Structure 1
Amino acid sequence: MLLFTASSGLGGLLTDGREFLAAVRLGRPAALWLLALLPLLALLNRYAARRRRAALAGVGRPAALTGQLTHPRPRRRWAGLTYPLAWLLLVVGLAGPRWGESDEPGVAVGRDTVIVIDLSRSMLAEDMADPGAKSRWEAARSGALDLLAAMERRGGHRVGVVLFAARPKLVCPLTTDYKHARAVLRAVNGRFPPPECRPGPEADATSGTRFGAALVAAVAAHDPRFVGAQDIVLISDGDDPEESDREWVRGANAARTANVPVHTVGVGNPGQPTVPDLGPDAVEPFSTKLEEGEDKPLKLIAGETQGEYVAARTGPPRLGEFFLNCIEGHKLRTVVGDDQVPQPKERYPWLLAPALALFFVGWLRGR
């Protein structure tokens, strides 16, 4: 009975530990790369220790020299961990750990990003190199989830999702509820797009890929209060059968007027056309490839709106890295008021103070 109680208590402790680690957010996760210097510092310390022993051996036997010391210091192996542990705490503290809720009035800072995913028939083509996401729409979904993970890591950013083919549909308004946004993205299925995205009775629904309508919907999903802190990320293969009608211009103009950059992400093989598997009901098979020429919609839209073109091609779209390097550092949305989002509390003093204390102990030990 006692053993069962002890094991149950240990299991609860491990569960609490996992929940705590899941709640920790790092403001500067790139600082963790400094931990890679720890093995190098250990090698330098070992080399310096060998040099000291060699120098003592040149003077006389180490045991005899130790006996001549007035106050010989006892050997404490644990003391050798002071510097490594201090370095570990220092680096983690510099990474900006945050958890819990701050006692200060909440101020939400971040950017608003609307993710637009193309679910037209050409996105069914299976020409991607990732075995877990062979089709273009699966790669687009994977890239969107990677982008969402990067936004969640810092917190404060808002994300929205628009799906489109012949028509657009806003499936997730701007939110900081990353669990909900993740559930929405995971439910995306290119073989069964929302009925609202399929061709309708509208006269302008002449193509199954309407970039302009999708961008207009994405611009409308943004909050007009935060101009300059907004982005649209469009993930597509750029293949529009009715490209000659330049329907995309309407969306690019709407984004430029609203001062919202559109970052376009090209997925698919640009050199080898692929015939999508449209299922048994398909009567018009066709071939498709990634259209990323200078005169094609993806690059034209990015250029017209001051955005970036990301050539993912057949590789996995690394949109989390793109967000951290090209989006997050720009102007942030700031909200103070009733709709503010509670921010996690900075906890770096809890780590930096012990780190400095351990460095001091190590210095005293080496005197």
Structure 2
Amino acid sequence: MGDFQFLYPAWFLALIPMAYLLRNRKPKSVVTSLIAPHLLRQMQTGAASRPSWPRWVLAVCWVLSVIALAGPSWEKNSIPGFQLAGARVLVMDMSHSMYTTDIKPNRLSQAHFKALDLLPGWTDGSTGLVAYSRDGYLISPLTDDSSTLTSLIPALSPGIMPFAGSNAAKGIEEAISLIKQAGYRQADIILITDGINDKELAESLSLLSDNPFRVSSLAIGTTEGGPVRHSDGSIFLQDDKTVISRLSLKNLKTLAAKTEALLKHSDLMTVT
């Protein structure tokens, strides 16, 4: 009984109209000079014989209803108010192709700049951060203060990833898991990447088929592309050939269209 409480005590204000209904009422004065004495006695007898129990039954039902609406509780449960606001997860591509220098100084630096530009505008709701290479990795859980991510984003690079590779679906999967664990039913996923292949697209759409989350993409790179480089600036070679990374927007457009989201390439916004 020590934890007994009413969750919505304001409902007790609804008892005021009932108190007004049950208050003692004085009989209205009757002008006796205009009514014969025997008729006056008959009228007073009829008024006194009227039953008052309907009003009391109504009063009891009213009180019980008010108590039920007030929410009597023997347990204290916190109500997650964060669910009333929006949520978003920033998913950043940390594949080796982000070192490509078709955008100066390179794609990775531009991804950092763009991410940091987005954070000040996210003042409502919670923001989380995920990075991916061959797998997805949680960098920051959902937080109401997105400015706390500003110290984490510049430190992200392909060099700190446990395994090299590129799989956007794994990043999206990690973001979905983060959103669900926090109890959100609706949220936005913002993908900053230099492109996804057909397999990544198919796996991403499969993950999103049962989850009503929008995936907006910010594409980093150019369609002409450029040589992929190491973190020290040297050219990345494969079978003695320079590896060239070119941005393709086709799959990103499909991903945005399927989730009713947005695609942004450089400074041009394309609504799909």
Aligned to 1:121: 96
Aligned to 2:134: 166
Please report how far the alpha carbon of residue 261 of structure 1 lies from its aligned counterpart in structure 2 after TM superposition.
0.5
Q: Deviations over 1:131-179 (max 9, x none)?
A: xxx211111111111111111xxx3321111111111111111111334
Question: Given the alignment, which residue of 259, 262, 268 partners 1:308?
Answer: 262
* Secondary structure class of the residue paired with 1:257: coil
Q: Does 1:248 align with 2:216?
A: no
Paired letter, 2:114: G
Aligned to 1:139: 110
Paired letter, 2:117: D
Aligned to 2:161: 194
Please report how far the alpha carbon of residue 281 of structure 1 lies from its aligned counterpart in structure 2 after TM superposition.
8.7
TM-score, scaled relative to structure 2: 0.61
Q: Does 1:257 align with 2:210?
A: yes
8 Å contact from structure 1 (residues 263, 307) kept in 2: yes
Counterpart CA distance in 1 for 2:211 and 2:81 is: 24
Counterpart CA distance in 2 for 1:187 and 1:123 is: 14
Question: Given the alignment, which residue of 121, 130, 136 partners 1:150?
Answer: 121
Q: Does 1:266 align with 2:213?
A: no
1:135/1:287 Cα in 2 relative to 1: closer, same or farther (>3 Å)? same
Aligned to 2:176: 219
Higher relative contact order (CA 8 A, sep 6+): 1
Gaps of 5+ in 1: 1-105, 200-207, 327-367
* Secondary structure class of the residue paired with 2:191: strand
Counterpart CA distance in 1 for 2:176 and 2:202 is: 14
8 Å contact from structure 1 (residues 117, 162) kept in 2: yes
Q: Deviations over 1:317-349 (max 9, x none)?
A: 99xxx9xxx9xxxxxxxxxxxxxxxxxxxxxxx
Aligned to 2:146: 178
TM-score, scaled relative to structure 1: 0.46
Percent sequence identity is 21
Aligned to 2:13: none
Counterpart CA distance in 1 for 2:228 and 2:175 is: 27
* Secondary structure class of the residue paired with 1:159: strand
Aligned to 1:112: 87
- Aligned pair count reads 186
Counterpart CA distance in 2 for 1:110 and 1:310 is: 25
* Secondary structure class of the residue paired with 1:310: strand
Higher strand share: 2
Q: Deviations over 1:42-82 (max 9, x none)?
A: xxxxxxxxxxxxxxxxxxxxxxxxxxxxxxxxxxxxxxxxx
* Secondary structure class of the residue paired with 1:247: helix
Which protein shows a greater Rg?
2
Counterpart CA distance in 1 for 2:237 and 2:221 is: 23
Gaps of 5+ in 2: 1-79
* Secondary structure class of the residue paired with 1:268: coil
Please report how far the alpha carbon of residue 251 of structure 1 lies from its aligned counterpart in structure 2 after TM superposition.
2.1
Counterpart CA distance in 2 for 1:254 and 1:128 is: 31
Please report how far the alpha carbon of residue 298 of structure 1 lies from its aligned counterpart in structure 2 after TM superposition.
1.3
Aligned to 1:276: 228
8 Å contact from structure 1 (residues 256, 305) kept in 2: no
Please report how far the alpha carbon of residue 286 of structure 1 lies from its aligned counterpart in structure 2 after TM superposition.
0.4
Counterpart CA distance in 2 for 1:247 and 1:128 is: 24
* Secondary structure class of the residue paired with 1:218: helix
* Secondary structure class of the residue paired with 1:222: helix
Counterpart CA distance in 2 for 1:144 and 1:259 is: 23
Paired letter, 1:188: L
Q: List, as ranges, runs of 4+ consecutive aligned residues in structure 1 with deviation greater than 6 Å.
A: none
Question: Given the alignment, which residue of 215, 232, 239 partners 2:189?
Answer: 232
